[in-house]
Chains A and B, each alone.
Chain A
Amino acid sequence: MKQRILNMIWQPETFLIVLIGILLTAMGRLDASFLQWEVQRALSSHVWELAIIAIPMTLIILTAGIDLSVGSVMGLSAITTGMLFQKGLPLPLACSASLLVGIFCGFLNGWFITRMKVHPLIITLATMAAYRGMAEGISHAKPVSGFPDSFTWLGQGDWFGLPVAAWVFAVMVGIVLWMMHGRAFGVGIYAIGHNETATRFSGLRVDRYLVTLYTFSGFASALAAVLFVARRNTAKADAGMGMELGVITAVVIGGVSIFGGRGTLIGACLGVLLIHETREFVSWHWNRDELNLLALGILLILSVVFQKLLRHKQGSAI
């Protein structure tokens, strides 16, 4: 029993919660206005797209993979929505088409990884460039704007007191948590991350898992793109530029091992929260964006070092 409590304490999630608590307290001391509910709710609109993409990214990194193309898929999907809307297509159709584009982009990644046996880092690095190039080529780097209010509500409006995007995120986290803990699916993901060969030799359909995850990642990126377009009321080819770095940083800060097999979705969500609050506070209080990168780097180093220590501790405790 004592052992169990000790193990609980030495989880990366616990460490993150404590760290977030300390940081928020410190921020409140420096600038009490930052912690007001209205301020937090308004600032949160910056994070939902990243948070949504972090869900599939967590699963992919758990299988020892990576998806660098998420930002570019966002750009391509955003521009698809914009161009089709400009051509006079009804918005629901334009959005569905952009989701399909995202799904296809993700599927293509998965297909290359499983059928052509290309390392995910290589293929998604390639498609990161290719998808972005396509987005810019199609749009000639011209933004589309002038969306109706009924659409921008998706990105700017509230529903039961929270931004619409927050609800989208919550539903997705709920479903994935259930998949991870209630279904064989979850066990399979961890097994693949630790040892793909042995998992394959146990009869699990590893390729199907991977294609599903990368497709899901494409879908989530497209969904984030739609929310982004609605929030900004513009569809641009450079939507989601640099998104992959933010997402991967958040997931890794959240305790998900880049080598696969270790980490949880909850941890990744805490990672997202941590970097979101840090970023927003730096902009809010000092209004200096260059400090943002510095803070992000320090956070990542701190969190990685701490997790190393934690694992060491756990290793000796068992």
Chain B
Amino acid sequence: MEPLRAVHLSKSYGGTHALKDVSLDIRPGEVHALCGENGAGKSTLIKILSGVLLPNAGTVQWNETPLPLGRVHSVEAHGILAVHQEPVVFPHLNAVDNLFVGREPAALGGAWLDQSTMRKKARAILANLGEELPLTQPVGDMSLAQRQMVSIARALLHQCRILILDEPTASLSARESESLFEKVNTLKQQGVGILYVSHRLEEIFRLADRVTVLRDGTWVATSDIASLNQEALIQHMVGRDITQKPGSGTAPDESKNRPPILEIKNLSREGVFQKISFKIQPGEILGMSGLVGAGRSEIARGIFGIDPFDAGEIIYLGSPLSKGFTIQDTIQAGMAMVPEDRQQQGLVLPLSVETNLLLPSLREFQGPLGLKTKAMRSSGKALIEKLGIKTETPDHPAHSLSGGNQQKIVIGKWVHRLPKLFILDEPTRGVDVGAKHEVHRLIRELAAQGSAVLLISSELPEILSLSHRILVLCEGTIRGELKANEATQEQLLKLALPEEARRSA
């Protein structure tokens, strides 16, 4: 069979070129990775290939005939299907209904839904994927990984020849990702060509046969994965050399005579986490590793005053926090948190970059007659510069920025307050390599200035390279504590797995 060929595709919005003369081909039975920083043109390319967008120039050829572009239905009919980053599902419907929404097989001339055929087909497709899903449960009650499977299964309902996966592991834990990789390999063996978009380089090196790199809307290189190493790939993506030192060495203050910034004693919340105890010293980065659902975010939310907890004590700067403390109390006391969901919890997207940056410190700018707009402008500009936020003006709305720059705002809005404890929940999720590097630099800088950092991350290389110490959580309890410079990815993963899974492994 012929490969799918995209030939000289270009797309521009107004004056800006999102994609310039890009060609690539996807062969049947290969995993073709697509890399590039945010804004490199990956999503534009995917949208053209999946029929969402019409290019200004160029064609997509399939078996020597050009495809009708700009129409999702006709592209899907040719067997080209895309699974977008956020799984598109209807949370109140069950898996079967989700699979068939919009293309239900009808009986009695459309008057009746053929439920039994639907169920039979759904089972066949899921069995083909090697996945067992509860068919009658509302999808909203499933885990993110299971929802992702539903999305993929939905794509496979059609005779699928080319599957486009856009950041499929962005919201999956390490173990869930593993199972996704297996599914990808199964499909590959069945002759499906897969275009795989990811920011995670380890995945690309594990899965891909070939890789295409885009930068600023142009094609940079396509090569066999075997002929590349990580450094070369990153260099292709950013166009400059980023060297990342492995492991961040020893904690800044081993002597322990300084009092800890935060001390947690036996913190518990019924059914969520139990008897959590740890300390963080000034200048220390404490990593929290574990599977999604291990209770990491919930502990962070408990400390910050978002969620309540049942028992235990939080001692902050030497004195215990009073019962029923709130977010305002913890912020007043100098805590800061970068929440898991940047767009929903971290930013007010339609408001300007400056307003977002200064939102937690607004009161400081309150003069007797009015807001001190000049002071706000200069503080805003200083923060934008300090954090390297790429925005045309401080007045641009936050949603006009790329994911990486948005994340810098979420961190930056606390930097102004010089927090003593910084809680970061998945700070680089969905952020491109260049911005990730800068976020890492910021985290190290914060610690070097004496802040204590609690870092939650599902990305093992990230947590290993940034943390001084690492706590591994599993099912709401601390399974182990490791020194980062002695720990390995395998150790972290092994501790993170639940008992029964470990025994079977």
Contact = CB atoms under 8 A, between A and B. Distances in A.
Partners in one complex: yes
Interface of A: 178, 181-184, 187-188, 190-191, 194-195, 197-205, 261-262, 318
A198 B345 contact: yes
Interface in B365-417: 365-366, 369-371, 397, 400, 413
Given A181-B370, A195-B344, 20 more contacts: A182-B369, A182-B371, A183-B371, A184-B366, A187-B355, A190-B351, A191-B348, A191-B351, A191-B359, A194-B348, A194-B349, A195-B349, A198-B347, A201-B345, A202-B413, A203-B328, A203-B331, A205-B328, A261-B350, A318-B400
Contacts of A198: 344-348
Instruction: Please indicate which of the listed interface residues A178, A190, A195, A198 has the most CB atoms of chain B within 10 Å of its own CB.
Output: A198
15 contacts: A182-B371, A183-B366, A184-B366, A187-B362, A190-B348, A191-B355, A195-B348, A198-B344, A198-B348, A199-B359, A201-B345, A204-B359, A204-B360, A204-B362, A205-B328
Contacts of B339: 201
Contacts of B365: 184
B69 interface: no
Interface string B325-360: 001100110000101000011111111000100011
A167 B348 CA distance: 37
A184 B360 CA distance: 11
A194 B359 CA distance: 13
B306 interface: yes
B258 interface: no
Nearest to A205: B328
A204 B351 CA distance: 15
Contacts of B347: 195, 198
A297 B347 CA distance: 37
B351 A197 contact: no
Contacts of B363: 184
Listed from nearest, the 7 A-B pairs whose CB atoms lie closest are A182-B370, A203-B331, A184-B362, A202-B359, A195-B348, A202-B360, A194-B348
Contacts of B355: 187, 191
Contact of A194 (B337, B346, B351): B351
Nearest to B301: A201
A201 B306 contact: yes
A200 B327 contact: yes
A318 B327 CA distance: 35
A318 B352 CA distance: 13
Nearest to B338: A201
Interface string B270-311: 000000000000000000000000000000000000100000
A4 to B, nearest CB: 11
B337 A199 contact: no
A7 to B, nearest CB: 11
Given A187-B359, A203-B328, A197 B344 contact: yes
B327 A201 contact: yes
A203 B327 contact: yes
B186 to A, nearest CB: 39
A125 B484 CA distance: 57
Contacts of A183: 366, 370-371
Nearest to A191: B348
A95 to B, nearest CB: 32
